[in-house]
């Protein structure tokens, strides 16, 4: 049982650099939908990123991770189609290890984070 929702806990979204947690309730609702669609837990690799951490990992200047509106999930847990079905609009691969999802207003698919 998570403290943000039925299946997600704040610590999953904490910045790996400073430990701060900012996470949009909107993102969590969509991740819960995605979890229900795939029928198994999702592993959050990266949630909120402070500006310093975002720069260190090569994140975009306006990354939605900076606002707690994006998450990188371990690959192999959900497909792009399932993420779209859950209402996630920004979807992309982050190398061989993760899939980026976010709650931007318009649908965008990109091939490398």
Domain that holds residue 35: 10-110
Compute the distance between CA of residue 59 and CA of residue 70 in angstroms, rounded to an integer. Answer: 12
pLDDT value at position 94?
77
pLDDT digits 0-9 by tens, 28-73: 999 999 999 999 999 999 999 999 999 999 999 999 999 999 999 9
Q: Is 72 within a domain?
A: yes
pLDDT value at position 49?
98
3-state secondary structure of 45: strand
- Domain count across the chain: 1
pLDDT digits 0-9 by tens, 73-111: 999 999 889 999 999 999 998 777 789 999 999 999 887
Q: Is 17 within a domain?
A: yes
CA 94, 23, 48, 50 dihedral sign is positive
pLDDT value at position 113?
63
Q: Is 3 within a domain?
A: no
Q: Is 2 within a domain?
A: no
Q: Is 1 within a domain?
A: no
> Is the pLDDT reported for residue 112 higher than 70?
no
Q: Is 4 within a domain?
A: no
Q: Is 33 within a domain?
A: yes
pTM for the model:
0.93
pLDDT digits 0-9 by tens, 10-19: 999 999 999 9
Domain containing 27 — which CATH number? 3.30.1380.10
């Amino acid at each position: 049982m998570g403290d943000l929702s039925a299946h997600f806990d704040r610590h999953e979204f904490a910045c790996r650099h400073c430990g701060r947690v900012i996470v949009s309730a909107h993102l969590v609702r969509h991740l819960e939908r995605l979890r229900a669609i795939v029928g198994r837990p999702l592993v959050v690799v990266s949630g909120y990123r402070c500006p310093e951490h975002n720069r260190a990992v090569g994140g975009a200047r306006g990354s939605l991770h900076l606002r707690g509106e994006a998450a990188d999930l371990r690959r192999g847990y959900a497909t792009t189609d399932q993420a779209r079905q859950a209402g996630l609009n920004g979807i992309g691969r982050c190398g061989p290890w993760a899939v980026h999802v976010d709650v931007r207003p318009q649908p965008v698919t990109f091939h490398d984070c």
